[in-house]
């Protein structure tokens, strides 16, 4: 039986599988990670599978229609996101016109949070696979192949005789070592040079070593609607095996990006992986997501094992706001982490999030001052993006702070993030204008120019990464997101759905 796993066409270079989907200002384009894992699971079960990433490959709807006519899949699994959901449903409907008998299935955080609502958008949608869907789509494919009903497939919502039915939730996967190496799927189906992550050396390969996150941040979508709060991890041996596979099969790759929500959750396991990478004489540098609480000893071991940079969420320079969003970190601990990272020689990319509960003009300036004091290698400033199923979304909706319920307005016409939240005394345009100004003030400091120039001189390999990301980034750095609406933090009030936004990553 034939299965098509599809990252559907939308806007050019639309990065659908990042936590905050959009076209990015830095040129970042994520791998279709979760779709790739599901592809590998289906292939191991004997299905004839094609993985197509339309945004990465520059394919439009007509290209996909032609391929579908040629391949003739019995099951199509389409990735989705909040801002592209109406587009994604339309793509599924077009596929159904060509192949009326194929089963169309939508996956991703958005449809996991709103499965019944999504099914009602168009009768062409047959199934929603909720949450972690690797084995869900495999079991669905088995049911389709054998002509069986879908009642016994855990973790799906589907339509039957005009009614929407829901099967029990599928338990999260405990033994992640049983999943295929995602880099093997990339090797067979994708061109790794199509993907770019601005904080990584190019080209890079993205992998996942653990799923779920035990921390309680109110805004983070994956733990709340997709993979849960319980941390599950691959064995250190399995992770090191994938590093070796990448080294052997992608000799031109400069870096591995570990895209776990928080790679350093289990400090003992983190150090074990580092020890094994050192023993294996690993030559590939790597970057990972982490919390700003890693101790100096672990940071030094990570550096020795090839860690070049950590991506951390600082979010705010105000302790009350950190408490409001359940960050679970103090400003003092964050500061200590940055000091220790510098001692260990590990670069840090700092993420700053504004527009949270309790934000005002004073706290905005505290965040900007804190970013300069921490002085990470790179920084991003973006307004709160609220996604269905998260505490942040429920809070903003409950307080009537969301300007529009039209999910297509979550991005601008260009595909950039669109701020749809406004606070008392701070409009969405105010938040965007602050992010534009904060970005300029951070990057255009003489201190930053000097330190970045010295870094490139000491490490010429950083030049390619910096130049590639700055190619598009500087356009937005100098002009702002929407120059016609930007003069100071006191921008005019934006109307619901107005095109104002800021890119994450």
Indicate the SS3 state at residue 105.
strand
Q: Looking at 8-17, 62-71, 458-467, 468-477, which range is the least confident one?
A: 468-477
User: Tens digits of per-residue pLDDT, 244-253?
Assistant: 999 999 999 9
Q: How far apart are the first and last CA of the chain?
A: 38
pLDDT of residue 449: 78
The one-character DSSP state at 421 is: B
Mean pLDDT, range 272-295, rounded to an integer: 98
| Crossing angle of helices 361-374 and 331-344, rounded to 10° | 20
User: Tens digits of per-residue pLDDT, 193-232?
Assistant: 999 999 999 999 999 999 999 999 999 999 999 999 999 9
pLDDT of residue 450: 75
**241-to-97, 209, 248 alpha-carbon distances in Å:** 44, 11, 11
Of 292, 213, 196, the closest CA to residue 253 belongs to 196
Residues 416-451 as b or e (16 or more Cβ within 10 Å = b): bbbbbbbbeebbbbbbbbbbbbbbeebbeeeebeee
Average pLDDT across the chain, whole number: 92
Can you list the pairs that 480-485 forms with residues at least 24 positions away whose Cβ atoms lie under 8 Å? 480/433, 480/436, 481/416, 481/432, 481/435, 481/436, 482/432, 485/429, 485/432, 485/433
pLDDT of residue 505: 33
Both tokens of 399, joined, read 């307080």
Residues 129 and 149: beta-carbon distance below 8 Å? no
Domain 2-166 has CATH 3.40.50.2300: yes
For CATH 3.40.50.2300, the residue range(s) in the chain are 2-166
For CATH 3.80.30.20, the residue range(s) in the chain are 198-485
As a whole number of angstroms, the distance between CA 488 and CA 95 comes to 47
pLDDT of 365 over the 60 cut: yes
Q: Identify any residues that bridge with 353 across adjacent strands, giving them in sequence order.
A: 382
Which positions ≥6 away from 31 have C-beta within 8 Å?
A: 17, 182, 186, 190, 195, 205, 206
As a whole number of angstroms, the distance between CA 386 and CA 394 comes to 9
Mean pLDDT, range 475-489, rounded to an integer: 48
pLDDT of residue 476: 60
As a whole number of angstroms, the distance between CA 387 and CA 257 comes to 25
Confidence of residue 462 (pLDDT cuts 50, 70, 90): low
Share of the chain above pLDDT 90, in %: 86
Domain 198-485 has CATH 3.80.30.20: yes
Which positions ≥6 away from 457 have C-beta within 8 Å?
A: none
* pTM (predicted TM-score): 0.91
pLDDT of residue 504: 33
Confidence of residue 162 (pLDDT cuts 50, 70, 90): confident
User: Does residue 306 come out as left (phi exceeding 0), alpha (psi in the -120 to 50 range) or beta?
Assistant: left
User: Tens digits of per-residue pLDDT, 34-93?
Assistant: 999 999 999 999 999 999 999 999 999 999 999 999 999 999 999 999 999 999 999 999
Mean pLDDT, range 281-305, rounded to an integer: 98
pLDDT of 426 over the 90 cut: yes
What is the per-residue DSSP string for 33-59? Answer: HHHHHHHHHHHHTT-EEEEEEHHHHT-
H helix intervals, 256-360: 267-279, 296-304, 319-324, 331-344
> Count of H helices and E strands in the chain?
19, 15
């Amino acid at each position: 039986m034939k299965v098509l796993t599809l990252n559907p066409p939308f806007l050019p270079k639309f990065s659908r599988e990042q936590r905050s989907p959009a076209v990015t200002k830095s040129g970042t384009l994520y791998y279709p990670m979760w779709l790739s894992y599901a592809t590998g699971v289906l292939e191991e079960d004997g299905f004839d599978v094609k993985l197509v990433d339309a945004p990465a490959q520059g394919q439009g709807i007509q290209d996909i229609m032609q391929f579908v006519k040629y391949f003739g899949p019995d099951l199509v699994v389409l990735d989705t996101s909040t801002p592209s959901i109406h587009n994604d449903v339309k793509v599924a409907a077009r596929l159904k016109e060509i192949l009326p008998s194929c089963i169309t299935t939508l996956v991703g955080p958005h449809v996991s949070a709103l499965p019944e609502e999504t099914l009602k958008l168009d009768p062409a949608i047959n199934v929603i696979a909720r949450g972690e869907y690797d084995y869900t789509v495999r079991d669905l494919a088995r049911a389709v192949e054998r002509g069986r009903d879908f009642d016994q497939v855990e973790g799906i919502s589907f339509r039957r005789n005009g009614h929407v039915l829901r099967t029990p939730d599928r338990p999260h996967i405990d033994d992640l070592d049983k999943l295929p190496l995602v880099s093997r799927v990339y090797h067979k189906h994708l061109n790794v040079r199509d993907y770019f992550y601005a904080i990584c050396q190019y080209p890079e390969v993205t992998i996942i070593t653990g799923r779920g996150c035990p921390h309680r941040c109110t805004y983070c979508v994956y733990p709340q609607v997709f993979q849960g709060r319980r941390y599950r991890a691959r064995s250190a041996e399995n992770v090191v095996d994938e590093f070796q596979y990448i080294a052997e099969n992608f000799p031109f790759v400069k870096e591995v990006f570990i895209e776990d929500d928080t790679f350093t959750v289990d400090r003992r396991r983190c150090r074990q992986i580092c020890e094994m990478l050192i023993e294996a004489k690993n030559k590939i540098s790597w970057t990972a997501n982490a919390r700003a609480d890693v101790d100096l000893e672990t940071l030094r071991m990570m550096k020795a094992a090839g860690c070049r940079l950590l991506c951390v969420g600082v979010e705010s320079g105000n302790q009350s706001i950190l408490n409001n969003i359940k960050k679970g970190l103090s400003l003092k601990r964050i500061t200590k982490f940055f000091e220790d990272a510098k001692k260990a020689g590990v670069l840090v990319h700092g993420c700053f999030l504004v527009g949270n509960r309790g934000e005002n003009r004073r706290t905005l300036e505290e965040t900007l001052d804190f970013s300069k004091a921490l002085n990470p290698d790179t920084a991003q400033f973006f307004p709160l993006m609220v996604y269905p199923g998260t505490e942040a979304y429920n809070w903003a909706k409950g307080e009537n702070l969301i300007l529009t319920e039209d999910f297509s307005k979550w991005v601008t016409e260009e595909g950039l993030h669109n701020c749809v939240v406004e606070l008392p005394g701070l409009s969405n345009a105010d938040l965007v204008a602050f992010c534009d100004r904060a970005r300029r003030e951070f990057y255009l400091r003489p201190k930053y120019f000097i330190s970045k120039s010295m870094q490139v001189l000491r490490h010429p390999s950083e030049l390619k990464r910096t130049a590639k990301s700055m190619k598009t980034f500087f356009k937005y750095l100098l002009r702002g997101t929407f120059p016609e609406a930007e003069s100071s933090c006191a921008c005019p009030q934006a109307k619901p759905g107005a095109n104002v936004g800021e890119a994450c990553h």
